[in-house]
Amino acid sequence: MNPVAILYAVFAQIALTYILGFWTGYLRHRATLSRRVRVKNIALHQPAWPEYETKIGNCFRNQFEGPILFYAVVALLLSTGMVDMVQIVLAWAFIGARVIHAYIHTGSNFVPWRFIAYSSGMIILLAMWVWFAIRTFGLY
């Protein structure tokens, strides 16, 4: 097993972040060009964006919350040589949960489903950290 394989999951998370970021930028640019939003009303980050633009923007902003812990654990796994198949599977499970969360968030935005997807991702991420800690302290 090549430990660098875990980076494919990292690149997938980065791709998701960029897709949402470009989508947010496109929608916001379109909203200002069409004058549905006045630049002076959003210059200081006031909540003047229409609902759809806000929904996509919130999903983009969410990519800088939980995924930070994902990037950190992957960096530590790589630097300590502790990448194993368990971590690679967990990394892809986390990415799957993030994609499902983004799909729900940018689509129906049905909060109970979104919460399940978000919570699943965070539990998977916790499992990555716990497995890393167990291996770090020689408990396995």
Residue 78 has pLDDT above 70, yes or no: yes
pLDDT value of residue 41? 76
pLDDT value of residue 85? 97
How confident is the model over 120-128, as a mean pLDDT? 98
Q: pLDDT tier at 89 (50, 70, 90 boundaries)?
A: very high
Helices (H), the chain: 6-33, 39-42, 51-62, 66-80, 85-106, 111-136
How confident is the model over 76-98, as a mean pLDDT? 98
The per-residue pLDDT for range 13-55, each reduced to its tens digit, is 999 999 999 999 999 999 988 988 888 777 776 678 889 999 9
How confident is the model over 66-87, as a mean pLDDT? 98
Phi, psi of 67 (to 5 degrees): -60, -20
pLDDT value of residue 46? 66
pLDDT value of residue 66? 95
pLDDT value of residue 131? 98
Question: Domains in the chain, please, with CATH?
Answer: 3-136 (1.20.120.550)
Rounded to the nearest angstrom, the gap between the alpha carbon of residue 7 and the centroid of all alpha carbons in its chain is 15
